[in-house]
Chains A and B, each alone.
Chain A
Amino acid sequence: MPLKALDIYKLLPRKNCKECGDPTCLTFAMKLAAGKADIELCPYLDENAKSVLGATTRPPIRRVKLGVGERSFAVGEEFVLYRHDKTFYHPPGIMFVVSDTQSEEEITAITARVRDETLTRVGADLKFNGTAIVNTSGTIEAYAKAVAAVEKTAGLPEVLVSENPAALAAALVLCGSYHPTICAATPENYKQICALAKQYACRLVVRASTLEALVQLAKDCVAEGVPDILLDPGAKTLGDFLYRSTAVRQLAITRAVPDLGYPVYLDATTFEDEDAAIALGIVKYASVIVAKPLSPASAKAALTLRQNIYTDPQKPIQMNPGIYRVGTPGKDAPVLMTVNFSLTYFTLQGYLESTRIPCFMLIVDTEGLSVLTSVAAGKLNESLVRDAIKKFGVEGEVNHRKLIIPGYAAPLSGRIEEATGWKVLVGPRDAAEIGEYLVQEWKP
């Protein structure tokens, strides 16, 4: 159980010396309780207080940053099992595999794809995150060449996949200053691998097929001086991954087994249906997912699922209220009113575009609530619509006075007519039917 601010305060020196940067010990205690400060900032803590506080004030899952620069990303620092309890903060990095048995052209092409490919959805640019370079050949020279080819192409986060310390050492000469991740330390090789990881301040994946062995290995590696650990639960089936990954998350956030408090690593390439493993990793707590370069369909689905699951459930993405044009609408074009929940907007806009009928979308400010929710909450009402028509000058845009409203807003139709003087037409509930509706019903 995390300590409350007052319990922490009792362990502090209570001198209000301000050396930690906070005005008082109490405000520092409050920050510690929220996981927003580091106990190391207090120079006057005794050993006992340090050990008590250290275990409870650090986030239950360690934050690990992969790579450097603009494309680096942080994982870990999650607090919940269910996204709606708070939110998931750090989307998993998806890394494409390159192998040192591929030609330099192939390696360059895959790396460039990770660097450049962007899927723009709901106003966000979604990208893949890095490469995992595999020492398939088993030779040192080929591995160094592959790493050099990746390095030449992009400054992306890298995972070095090899259990050969000599090959890793040759690779680290080339990329060791960019915080690469080494994969993987096992009970057999961890001492040698840790020596390299420590020398270059690498992140380290530890792999074992039981949680017990995983905890032991993580402890051993930390003791060797490598604090930035990722856990690979060594799953052979989707069921293994789901069970172990859920167990790691649950036991870490409840601090039942604090030594499991590290981000989870998933190698999706070992599964027959790689897409299934990726989807499972995204919904069930993976922080780094390694996959073969994905087909266009798989790539779109993976990036979209990741965006969905990692959207903050408490902050719906909003559009700016206003008048939006689809195509080049004229004076007799239909006007469709809807809410400023971005998902509603983008969904409706997509269907309107495919109808090829130019029109206006009047987006009113429901604070990001959907049609259904805003009607239920009374947020969407006749005065809001009336004021929006005025504010955005809709009367000057068209020479008719007809407003199409969403099907779920039907109960408001009479009141909107009274408040605005416009004739209200009730559209379909489902945006998918808007095309058919306009063809059948719209006569300016």
Chain B
Amino acid sequence: MIPDPNFGWTGTVGEVILGATRSEGGTRSRSYRIGGGTTLPFMEKDTAARPPLIAFEICDDPRYWSPIVNEYCGDLIHDPAAWAKTAETAYGADLVRLCLTSTKQRDFSDIATLGKTTESVLTGTALPLIIEGSNEPKIDSEVFQKCGETGQGERLLLGTAEAGRYRSIAAAALAYNHAIIAQSPIDINLAKQLNILLKEIGISRDHIVIDPYTGALGYGFEYTYSAMERIRFSALKGDTDLAMPMICAPSDSLTIKEVREADAGSRDAMAVEWEFTTSLAAAVAGAEIVCVRHPLTVKRLKEAFYGLNTRTGGA
């Protein structure tokens, strides 16, 4: 008899709930419970384990978005609600991530419109929502307060808390019961430190998703890959300050040289290949949510995750 590989894990990855259905006090068509892993990704004894979720990213100001995606999605990019709906019905995403790129404008102050946009996206799609907040620390507090309030009851995932910049987002998450993304610059110790800071101000572990920061394939991805592996097995070894699910956003993939400079005929293929390869490898390292921007990446990842979750025999 060949034994099963024995890693001697003692811990599990903690769980986080995203989205809320009517019976849970929200208006989403479904909610997700992510985390709960007891071994390396896709190695669970029970192959009915949940596959990673795919979030499709949209934005409220396409001037700050990838021209490749803008061209592919056409007029949708000017209507976040319709774009979100398309992500759900046509692209097949599990989640929508709304990036508030309008806050990148100099001296941005139109907080009311952010609330309206959030509201329209929540109406446009019934999927659970991730909101990627302000690009300017000075307005963090108003932005997160507004989005948090607008999404009250929906169990949003709010991004992104960093070591020097987490109080505003934490306050909104606490006030309206949302989860938050905690990002550190590809460093397991800094990831742990940030989780401890968040714990100290009252954010419970089941409301944190770790973003170890994703360097694009060919531009630092090897560091991300190892940071994710290390965070995952720290959790499995029982370190509760790192036992949260992870999110991977290879958004840099669309700005790297190989994709930027691909000729018109192969730009889409190159963009999709880069997002796909990075996301797949990240999922194998432990990411439980992967975020992509090109519609064609979603279906390919779905099928690959399904394949990874299917086994035809024992070991």
A residues engaging B (CB < 8 A)?
82-84, 121-122, 209-212, 215, 236-240, 242-244, 246-247, 250-251, 256-257, 260, 271-273, 275-276, 279-280, 282-284, 295-298, 300-302, 304-305, 307-309, 311, 313, 343, 347, 350, 354, 372, 432
Contacts and interface: CB of A to CB of B under 8 A. Distances in A.
B74 interface: no
A239 B273 contact: no
Contact of A343 (B2, B220, B230): B220
Contact of B304 (A215, A251, A276): A276
B7 A82 contact: no
A280 B185 contact: no
Given A239-B307, A239-B308, A308-B218, A301 B226 contact: no
Nearest to B312: A236
A350 B252 CA distance: 13
Given A250-B7, A283-B225, A305-B217, 12 more contacts: A210-B314, A237-B312, A238-B304, A246-B43, A273-B303, A273-B307, A282-B281, A284-B284, A296-B266, A301-B277, A308-B221, A432-B252
Interface in B162-186: 185
Contact of B303 (A84, A210, A251, A272): A272
Contacts of B2: 210-212, 215, 247, 251, 257, 260
Contact of B281 (A271, A279, A343): A279
B309 interface: yes
A243 B273 contact: no
A247 B274 contact: no
A239 B217 contact: no
Contacts of B223: 313
B17 interface: no
Contacts of B310: 237-240
Interface string B1-30: 111111100000000000000000000000
B123 interface: no
Given A247-B315, A283-B284, A300 B273 contact: yes
B303 A239 contact: no
A417 to B, nearest CB: 23
B261 to A, nearest CB: 8
Contacts of A273: 300, 303-304, 307
A16 to B, nearest CB: 41
Contacts of A82: 226, 229-230, 233
B40 interface: yes
8 contacts: A82-B233, A211-B315, A239-B47, A250-B5, A251-B5, A283-B284, A304-B277, A313-B223
A269 to B, nearest CB: 15
Interface of B: 1-7, 40, 42-43, 47, 185, 217-223, 225-226, 229-230, 233, 252, 255-258, 260-262, 266, 269-270, 272-274, 276-277, 280-281, 284-285, 300, 303-304, 307-315
Contact of A280 (B4, B222, B284): B284
B314 A297 contact: no
A83 B47 contact: no
Given A212-B2, A280-B280, A239 B309 contact: yes
A244 B312 contact: no
A127 B307 CA distance: 28
B273 A275 contact: yes
B226 A84 contact: yes
A47 to B, nearest CB: 28
A237 B313 CA distance: 10
Contacts of A272: 303, 307
A275 B303 contact: no
Given A242-B42, A296-B266, A343-B219, A354 B260 contact: yes
A84 B229 contact: yes
Contact of B230 (A84, A279, A283): A84
B270 A240 contact: no
Contacts of B226: 82-84, 313
Nearest to A303: B218
B185 A239 contact: no
A432 B259 CA distance: 13
A244 B43 CA distance: 10
A300 B232 CA distance: 28
Given A246-B40, A300-B273, A209 B222 contact: no
B312 A240 contact: yes
A139 to B, nearest CB: 32
A300 B309 CA distance: 27
A276 B307 contact: yes
Contacts of B1: 212
B225 A308 contact: yes
Contacts of B4: 247
A121 B256 CA distance: 13
B305 to A, nearest CB: 9
A238 B256 contact: no
Given A239-B308, A251-B2, A257-B3, A297 B218 contact: no
A425 B193 CA distance: 30
B221 A251 contact: no
Given A246-B40, A272-B303, A372-B185, A279 B280 contact: yes
B43 A350 contact: no
Given A238-B304, A276-B304, A297-B273, A251 B218 contact: no
B277 A279 contact: yes
Given A275-B277, A279-B280, A297-B273, A238 B5 contact: no
Contacts of B257: 350, 354
Contact of B307 (A209, A238, A301, A343): A238
A243 to B, nearest CB: 6
Nearest to A214: B2
Pairs of residues from A and B, 4 with the lowest C-beta to C-beta distance, nearest first: A238-B307, A250-B5, A308-B222, A297-B273
Contacts of A300: 258, 270, 273
A238 B222 CA distance: 21
A304 B217 contact: yes
Nearest to B2: A211
Nearest to B281: A283
A11 B310 CA distance: 48
